[in-house]
């Protein structure tokens, strides 16, 4: 067995864990924290709780809440200026994937300098980052535990994937309560994102037994609880399960990396600024179909984890059942089914395909992909 490595932050999970944010930040040496968030979170009241916890911990802070969906490099640079001007020495990210990715980006620039595009790719960060506490309020991106940060290069209209162990936050706080304020469609989209993370990590060629455990458990939880979670904002059991699923899927993909669905999703998201979860939800079944022959046994195992009765079926049949399950789930919770539904046209395919091929996530996809194959896949999903 080759050497494997599993990197993760200190994880604080549970109801009201949000209130520990300030104390956690002080614990890792912060004197003044920059709180990075978006206006949505600010309006929900969760940000207020984090700020309250900072006051209680007697931690000075400054706030940067100008984060948008599919965050751009300019936002990171503005945040970094605040960080430096306010003489902060730690970062608290509060929100969904966007806020947390921007928080990471600010951390990179704060100690490494330069522009965010300098760090695109794998392991380009040369200096350690300021202490980071990530408070996840949406469940989905897994950014609170992952070594990923995805930022849009506004000049090139491209989502830059920055991957580095240095990006793994010091402390991750997941408070399932926060999920109760999410709208149903957001719950659905982020839920599909979690599912994509779990599946791509599970079939990744960099998967290890440790990531498998996380991926499988996340898969089980999503299959069981995504529907009820979308159905009811107040289903506490479902919210807690989805929060755990998001966390575990995050741990899995952070260490096992992703696959073609994410590679393509990054390409589309950068150009057209569409919600990440939505695109993943559309692409996932098509990518699964394409990858099926690369790992039929794993796909069959997935079907079992999803609760599909696979007895007497071949691995391929099991795998197809898993794909079918994903399609049905997507239909049930109402996420878009085809790229054409979200405005992607045939003319865009070539650019999307070539960009996706260069994405770091493509490396761990179980089945090799050519330009022709990816174009075919995209055409199928139109």
Partner 1 sequence: MQTEKDNLIEMLTGIKSSKKNYYTELKKTVEQLEKKNMQLEIMNDITKTIKIDMNLEEIVTYVMEKLRLLMAFDDCRLYLLQKGDPVLVQVYPTSTANTEYRIKNADSSLFWSALTEKKVMQEQISTETTMFAEEDWLISQELLSILVMPLYSINEGIGVLTFGRKEQSGWTTEELEFLEQLTNHVAIILENSQLYNAVLQGKQEWEDTFKAVDDMIMVFDKNLEVFKFNDSAREFLDIYHSSSFYSSLGQTCKAIVQETFNSNTAGFQEIHSKNHVIYEMHTYPVLDNDQQVYGVIAYFKDVTKKRQMEVQLLHSGKLAAIGEMAAGIAHELNSPLTAILGNSQLLIRNTPETDRDYILLNDIKNCGNRCKQIIKSLLTFSRQDEYLFTSYSVNECVRQVLNLLTFQLEKNRISISLSLQQDLPLLDGSQPQIEQVIINLLLNAKDAVEMAKTSHKCISIQTSLEEDCIHVAVEDNGIGIEEARLPLVFHPFHTTKDMEKGTGLGLSVSLGIAKAHGGTIKVISSQGKGSTFILKLPLPDSGKNEVTR
Per CB under 8 A, contacts with partner 1 among 288-327 are none
Site for partner 1 contains 166 (CB under 8 A): yes
For residue 115, which of 157, 81, 64 has the smallest C-alpha distance? 81
Per CB under 8 A, contacts with partner 1 among 44-103 are none
Site for partner 1 contains 31 (CB under 8 A): no
CB 258 → partner 1: shortest distance, Å? 10
DSSP letter at 72 equals: B
The first and second tokens of residue 262, run together, are 């994410």
The residue from 50, 238, 244, 360 that contacts partner 1 (CB under 8 A) is 360
Per CB under 8 A, contacts with partner 1 among 101-140 are 122-123, 125-131
Choose between 46 and 148: whose C-beta lies nearer to partner 1.
148
The first and second tokens of residue 113, run together, are 């300098």
In sign, the C-alpha dihedral spanning 299, 305, 309, 312 is positive
Sole residue written with tokens 């549970």: 14
**Over the range 236-257, which residues count as b (16 or more CB within 10 Å of their CB) and which as e?**
eebbbbbbbbbbbbbbbbbbbb
Sole residue written with tokens 């966390």: 247
Choose between 19 and 89: whose C-beta lies nearer to partner 1.
89
Site for partner 1 contains 349 (CB under 8 A): no
For residue 125, which of 72, 71, 163 has the smallest C-alpha distance? 163
CB 7 → partner 1: shortest distance, Å? 6
**What residues have CB less than 8 Å from 43, skipping those under 6 apart?**
none
Stretch binding partner 1 (CB under 8 A), from 75-83, 182-190, 254-262, 298-306 = 254-262
Stretch binding partner 1 (CB under 8 A), from 216-224, 276-284, 285-293, 358-366 = 358-366
> Do 281 and 330 form a contact (C-beta atoms < 8 A)?
yes
The residue from 165, 338, 346, 350 that contacts partner 1 (CB under 8 A) is 165
Site for partner 1 contains 205 (CB under 8 A): yes
Question: Footprint of partner 1 on this chain (CB under 8 A)?
Answer: 2-5, 7, 29, 122-123, 125-131, 147, 163-166, 168, 205-206, 208, 255-257, 360, 363-364
């Amino acid at each position: 067995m080759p050497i494997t490595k599993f990197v993760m932050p200190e994880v604080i999970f549970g109801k009201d864990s949000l209130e520990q944010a300030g104390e956690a930040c002080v614990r890792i040496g912060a004197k003044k924290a920059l709180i990075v968030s978006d206006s949505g979170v600010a309006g929900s009241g969760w940000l207020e709780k984090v700020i309250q916890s900072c006051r209680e911990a007697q931690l000075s802070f400054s706030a940067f809440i100008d984060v948008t969906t599919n965050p751009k490099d300019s936002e990171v640079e503005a945040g970094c200026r605040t960080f430096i001007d306010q003489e902060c020495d730690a970062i608290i990210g509060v929100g969904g994937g966007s806020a947390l990715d921007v928080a990471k980006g600010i951390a990179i620039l704060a100690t490494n300098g330069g522009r965010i595009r300098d760090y695109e790719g794998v392991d380009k960060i040369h200096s350690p980052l300021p202490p980071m506490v990530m408070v996840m309020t949406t469940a989905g991106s897994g950014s609170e535990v992952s070594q990923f940060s995805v930022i849009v290069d506004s000049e090139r209209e491209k989502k830059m994937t920055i991957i580095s162990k240095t990006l793994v936050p010091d402390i991750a706080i997941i408070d399932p309560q926060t999920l109760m304020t999410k709208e149903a469609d957001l719950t659905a989209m982020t839920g599909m994102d979690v599912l994509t993370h779990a599946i791509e990590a599970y079939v990744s060629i960099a998967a290890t037994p440790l990531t498998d455990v996380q991926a499988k458990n996340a898969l089980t939880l999503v299959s069981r609880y995504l529907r009820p979670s979308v159905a009811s904002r107040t289903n506490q059991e479902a919210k807690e399960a989805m929060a755990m699923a998001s966390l575990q899927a995050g741990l899995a993909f952070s260490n096992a990396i992703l696959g073609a669905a994410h590679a393509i999703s990054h390409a589309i998201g950068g150009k057209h600024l569409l919600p990440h979860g939505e695109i993943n939800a559309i692409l996932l079944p098509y990518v699964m179909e394409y990858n099926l022959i690369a790992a039929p046994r794993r796909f069959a195992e997935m079907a079992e984890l999803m609760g599909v009765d696979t007895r007497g079926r071949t691995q391929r049949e099991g795998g197809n059942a898993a794909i079918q399950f994903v399609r049905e789930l997507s239909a049930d919770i109402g996420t878009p089914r085809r790229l054409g539904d979200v405005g992607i046209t045939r003319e865009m395919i070539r650019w999307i395909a070539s960009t996706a091929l260069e994405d770091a996530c493509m490396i761990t996809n179980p089945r090799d992909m050519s330009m022709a194959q990816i174009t075919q896949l995209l055409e199928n999903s139109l």
